[in-house]
Structure 1
Amino acid sequence: MSEPHVTLEPDPDDPVQRKLRGPLEDQLTSALQAATDRVRASYRGEEFEVVCRQLVEETKAGLHPDIAAGFEPNMDEMCRLAVAIVRGQG
């Protein structure tokens, strides 16, 4: 399984979004990677949907509350990670 990564698509006309893109992507990616490691380590045969929900919850738990409140994860990426964990590929 490849390492999880968060990619943001800021408004190209918004200089603040463009400036914060890199640091925010780094923080979100770090939280997602840590969440993936924790969920993988604690996996005990839970169903896919449970693992997917755990990934989202663990990722948000690793973020500042203001960032977590605005974080809308790419559910395709979360599902991909959950499938890899359930299949033992991660």
Structure 2
Amino acid sequence: MIEPQVNLDPDSLSPVGDKLRGPLEDQLTSALRAAAEKIADGYAGEPVDTVTAQLLEQTRAGLHPDIAAGFEPDHAELRRVAEAIVRDS
């Protein structure tokens, strides 16, 4: 199984966001990994686009609402995780 990792671009963060970058990356990564595991466990042949949407939805569901509202992952990276779920299932 793929071990997704969320990395935030320090150039896009405010000074406060930059100070919180490590813990925030950890929280986002944890939520993404939990979502990927849950989706992989229940995978039933859905297309990659559907799995990608599920990943985003489930990841946001695992976050504090304020963090979830600002979570805009790189779509290509999220799709790469979805492709790995489809491939490995």
TM-score normalised by length of structure 1:
0.89
The count of residues paired between Structure 1 and Structure 2 equals: 89
Larger helix proportion of the pair: 2
| C-alpha separation in 1, matches of 2:32 and 2:80 | 13
Which structure has more relative contact order (CA 8 Å, sep 6+)? It is 2
Q: How does 1:5-84 map to 2 (within 5 A)?
A: 5-11=5-11, 14-84=14-84
Q: Which amino acid aligns with 2:60?
A: K
| C-alpha separation in 1, matches of 2:23 and 2:10 | 13
TM-score normalised by length of structure 2:
0.90
Question: Which blocks of at least 5 consecutive residues in structure 2 are unaligned?
Answer: none
Identity, % of aligned positions: 60
Q: Which amino acid aligns with 2:36?
A: T
Q: CA deviation at 1:15?
A: 3.1
Residues 44 and 19 of structure 1: CA distance in aligned 2, closer, same or farther (over 3 Å): same
Residues 3 and 61 of structure 1: CA distance in aligned 2, closer, same or farther (over 3 Å): same
